[in-house]
Amino acid sequence: MEQEKNISQFQPLSAEQSSLPSGGAGGGLNILITGCNGQLGNEMQRLQAEHPEHNWINTDVEELDITDQLAIEQMVAEKKIDGIVNCAAYTAVDKAESNKELCTTLNTVAPSYLAAAVEKRGGWIIQISTDYVFNGTKHTPYVETDTPAPDSVYGSTKLAGELGVSKFCSKAMIIRTAWLYSFYGNNFVKTMIRLGKEKEQLGVIFDQIGTPTYARDLARVIMTVIEKGIKPGVYHFSNEGVISWYDFTKAIHRIAGINTCKVLPLHTSEYPTPANRPAYSVLDKTKIKETYGIEIPYWEESLKECISKL
């Protein structure tokens, strides 16, 4: 498989090369956040005040180039990193089809660098992955043991990233999520609100089914995982419920008080894109709920919370 080839090209630096010091953090943990300026990264930063016992090292490309193996090794060593939450990724799904090299570097190779570096300290990594590792041909919610079958460059590189972190870190936890949105950054919710105010009519796909994920809810779960302890493996997380993009848009407009835009349902075939989307990508969250004793909000409740902040 191509993703396995990409991983095999990566070789972690030796302990001598990384100049890894001995010893760890006293008291709380030294936790590295990558991609801190993205939707999830920003939500993680907002919650850090509730966990002052830990030392949070928030980075984006300006502070740490995760494609630079030596830079990662040096930061992990100097900051004595105990754990990494990798929120960084190439997420431009359509552009990925024609920009495969960069997408592979960010989504496959870079996570392996992070995993290998923190493994030398006996630490852990939480890798954020995606529903795009599935092709969407199933008609019941995907569980973690379902065989991945990505149908896009983005999905293939993210699956390879999962394999990489699992290979190079013995305490790797992978959380697949879907339809992420937030108060921060560009996302579907903010786009639909903007278009709803600008246009009298809007067509939205109705035959792609999934579940939205409020990034704040995902960040809260990650904090719970850190507090209760990393249990390696693959997990699924999104909000509860099932909906189409069309119905999601109708709910966004209703909650945002937009009633001047008519929303029309479109078939996927009427709106062709460079990358294939899963027709059905509902994720089963039973494993993470039972493992960490959490309750997950219904998607509409979280959507209301987010829109109230916009």
Q: Which residues form the catalytic set?
A: 154
Which of 129, 124, 125 lies closest to 159, judged by CA? 129
| Helix (DSSP H) and strand (DSSP E) numbers for the chain | 13, 12
Question: Measured between alpha carbons, how far is 9 from 17 in angstroms, rounded to an integer?
Answer: 18
Task: From residue 202, give the alpha-carbon distance in Å to each of 160, 198, 267.
Answer: 36, 10, 13
Are the C-beta atoms of residues 212 and 239 closer than 8 Å to each other? yes
Give the C-alpha separation, 231 to 12, whole Å. 23
Backbone angles phi, psi at 170, to 5 degrees: -75, -15
Give the integer Cα–Cα distance in Å for 114 and 299: 32
d(CA 176, CA 142): 11
